[in-house]
Amino acid sequence: MYERPLVTGLDVDFETRCRHYHSENDRIAIRFHCCGQYFPCFECHQALGCGNASVWPKEQFHEKAILCGACGTELSIREYLDCASSCPHCMAAFNPGCSLHKHLYFEV
C-alpha cells in the first residue's frame, strides 16, 4: 500500500489543510526546497520548519514537490504550475488563490 509523505504543520488534516489555510480547496502541501520536508503553507514552515526558507529555482521545476491532499499524488512543480488549479491525477480542485503566494515557494 502507498504511504503518503509526512506533512508537518499546525492542525493538519488528512487532505493537508492547516490552521492557516483550511477552505475546502486548500488541499496541497509543498516540499520546501531548503529542508526537503512537506508543509501545508509558508506559515507552518515558519512555525515548525528549518528556519532557513529558500525557493525552488526554475531549473528544478521538474522535481516532485507538491502533494495533492485528495489523492496523495506527488506533482512536479511544473505540473502544479500548469494544472489550472486542479489535480491532473484525480481532478480535485486546488485553491486558485495559492498563486498569490507562489513567490514564497518558487522562483518567479
For the chain, give the mean pLDDT. 95
Percent of residues in the chain assigned helix, strand, coil, to nearest 5: 20, 20, 60
Of all residues in the chain, what percent carry a pLDDT higher than 70?
A: 98
What are the distances in angstroms from CA 69 to CA 14, 34, 44, 52, 55? 7, 21, 16, 25, 21
Q: How many CA atoms lie within 13 A of 54 on its CB side?
A: 9
pLDDT tens profile 45-68: 999 999 999 999 999 999 999 999
- Cβ-Cβ contacts under 8 Å for 68 (sequence gap 6 or more): 27, 28, 74, 75, 87, 89, 90, 92, 94
* Domain limits, the chain: 28-104
pLDDT tens profile 88-108: 999 999 999 999 999 999 999
